[in-house]
Amino acid sequence: MKVKISDGISKHIAELAKKVRDLSPAMRRIRREVLEPLIPAAWAKSGLHSRTGELRKAMGAWGRKRSAGLALRTKKGLVLPKAIAHMFGAKAGQWKRKGKKEYEVTRKGTTFKRKNAGSPWGAIPARPFFPRISAIRAHERRIAEIITKYLEGGA
> pLDDT-derived band of residue 144, with 50, 70 and 90 as boundaries?
very high
Q: What is the pLDDT of residue 32?
A: 94
Give the span between the Cα atoms of 125 and 91, in whole angstroms.
Answer: 8
Higher pLDDT among residues 58 and 113, named by residue:
58
Sign of the torsion angle spanned by Cα atoms 39, 43, 49, 54: negative
Residue range 76-135, pLDDT digits in tens:
566 777 787 788 887 766 665 555 555 566 666 666 665 544 445 667 788 888 887 888
Q: What is the pLDDT of residue 116?
A: 47
pTM for the model stands at 0.66
Is residue 99 within 8 A of residue 72, CB to CB? The reply is no
Percent of the chain with pLDDT over 90: 15
Element (H, E) at 114: strand 110-115
Domain boundaries, the chain: 10-152
Provide the CA 37 distance to its chain's centre, in angstroms. 12
Higher pLDDT among residues 144 and 91, named by residue:
144
Q: What does the H/E/C string look like for 122-135?
A: CCECCCCCCCCHHH
When the pLDDT of each residue in the chain is averaged and rounded to a whole number, the result is 77
Cβ neighbours, 10 Å, residue 75: 7
Provide the CA 106 distance to its chain's centre, in angstroms. 21
Cβ neighbours, 10 Å, residue 29: 20
> pLDDT-derived band of residue 52, with 50, 70 and 90 as boundaries?
confident
- Residue 68 forms beta bridges with which residues? 63
Give the span between the Cα atoms of 144 and 42, in whole angstroms.
Answer: 22
